[in-house]
Amino acid sequence: MARAQTVSIDELKSIAKRIRRHIVEMTANANSGHPGGSLSSVEIATALYFRVMRHDPQNPLWPDRDRFIVSKGHATPMVYSTMAEAGYFPVEDLMTFRKLGGKLQGHTVMQKPPGVEMSAGALGMGLSFSLGHALAGRLDGRDYHVFCLLSDGDCQEGQTWEAAMASAHHRAENLIAMVDRNHIQNDGFSDYQRFPAGNGSRPQRPGGWVLKDGHTANIMNLEPLEDKWKAFGWSTQHIDGHDLEAIIDALEQAKAHTGGPSVVICETIKGKGVSFMENNPDFHGKAPSPEQLKQALKELAD
């Protein structure tokens, strides 16, 4: 048992801000990477590593640890920054991100560095892997929880729904999925939902369509997402994914849930915290320029 569970919300907010600064700095330094979907999931990761999860940075393979399994393997800036802040490795290592000879590859590699649970980068694989951890825990009589972070894109991969079906079938009550629902993916908006039609920085893609309420389903409409999870046999919650208290509450509720798996759909803003990155599909997989970095750090100052 390694984590003090008493970090205050104010402290968590300041940790989240530091993580955001790392994210923009390390992607700028690498001149590549995925800042948008990293910034959208900062509060989720902060809540997990500094409040909710039982883990030990000094003993990353501790068999009884709670697992944070990141299916959206491109969100390495968020993963590595949070782990560095939590004490898994020195913060200076973040500047080796995506560099030859560095310890931090562009997409996650299992146990490199120790504590990274899964090799990912092809979407859709994380929930299956998480279910394997959950079943092993039950078989071994261990009481850990498995937290799996999914993206919008993950929810478009068929394998995620294979795993969703199997998780409910096996009544994996120690499995908790979180969807970082930022509505943006590689080529643009998945579905606008919260965005009026035409609010994107890119023209609407061929193949999209306008919903009855005037919103636009663009690359692939995921709604009604919560109903989909329910139909697959999951207990669901739907929260503001930047509200630390709401995240902690939801995850604690999910941990207490018995009889089957739980999902928390976290409504988030891609690029959260940096004005010109927010809701901007361009920063899914593009680093800030040196000038943009300066601006971002100004906005993220304490």
Partner 1 sequence: MAQTARTEATRTALGPTLARLCREGLDIVCVDADLGYSTSAVKFGQEFPERFFPVGVAEQNMVGVSAGLAACGKIAFCSSFAVFAPGHCFDQLRMAVGQPRTNVKLVASHGGVVTGEDGASAEALEDLALMLSIPTFSVVFPADVVEADQAIEAAARTEGPFYIRTLRPKTPVIYDDSGYRFELGRWDRLRKGSDVTLIACGELVTSALDAAEMLAGEGVQARVLNASSLRPIDRETLLAAARETGAIVTAEDHFVHGGLGGIVAETLAEERPVPMAFVGMRDRYGTSGTWDELLEYFSLTPPAIADTARGVLARK
Residue 2 makes contact with partner 1 by CB under 8 A: no
- Please state, as a whole number, how many other Cβ atoms lie within 10 Å of the Cβ of residue 224: 10
Q: Are 281 and 195 in contact (CB under 8 A)?
A: no
> Which of 15, 48, 86, 134 touches partner 1 by CB under 8 A?
134
The rounded distance, in Å, linking the Cα atoms of 37 and 123 is 13
> Which of 158, 203, 207, 290 touches partner 1 by CB under 8 A?
158
Q: Which stretch binds partner 1 (CB under 8 A): 13-21, 110-118, 195-203, 216-224?
A: 110-118
- Residues within window 29-88 making contact with partner 1, judged by CB under 8 A: 63
Residue 127 makes contact with partner 1 by CB under 8 A: yes
Residue 101 makes contact with partner 1 by CB under 8 A: no
> Which of 13, 169, 202, 205 touches partner 1 by CB under 8 A?
169
Q: Is 114 left (phi over 0), alpha (psi -120 to 50) or beta?
A: beta
CA angle 101, 104, 110 (to 5 degrees): 115
Q: Which stretch binds partner 1 (CB under 8 A): 161-169, 216-224, 262-270, 279-287?
A: 161-169
> Which of 162, 226, 249, 278 touches partner 1 by CB under 8 A?
162
Residue 262 makes contact with partner 1 by CB under 8 A: no
Strands, E assignment, the chain: 67-70, 146-151, 175-181, 184-185, 188-189, 191-196, 209-210, 215-217, 235-240, 262-267
- Residue (91 or 166) nearer to partner 1, CB: 166
- Residue (118 or 225) nearer to partner 1, CB: 118
- Supply the minimum distance, in Å, between the C-beta of residue 105 and partner 1: 11
> Which of 17, 29, 91, 119 touches partner 1 by CB under 8 A?
119
Which contacts qualify for 292-297: CB closer than 8 Å, 24 or more apart? 292/28, 293/24, 293/25, 293/28, 296/24, 297/21, 297/24, 297/25
> Which of 54, 170, 171, 257 touches partner 1 by CB under 8 A?
170
Q: Could you please report the per-residue DSSP string of 18-86?
A: HHHHHHHHHHHHHT-S--HHHHTTHHHHHHIIIII----TT-TT-TT--EEEES-TT-HHHHHHHHHHH
> Which of 85, 117, 152, 191 touches partner 1 by CB under 8 A?
117
Residue 231 makes contact with partner 1 by CB under 8 A: no
Q: Which residues bind partner 1 (CB under 8 A)?
A: 63, 109-111, 117-122, 124-125, 127-137, 139-140, 158-159, 162-163, 165-166, 169-170
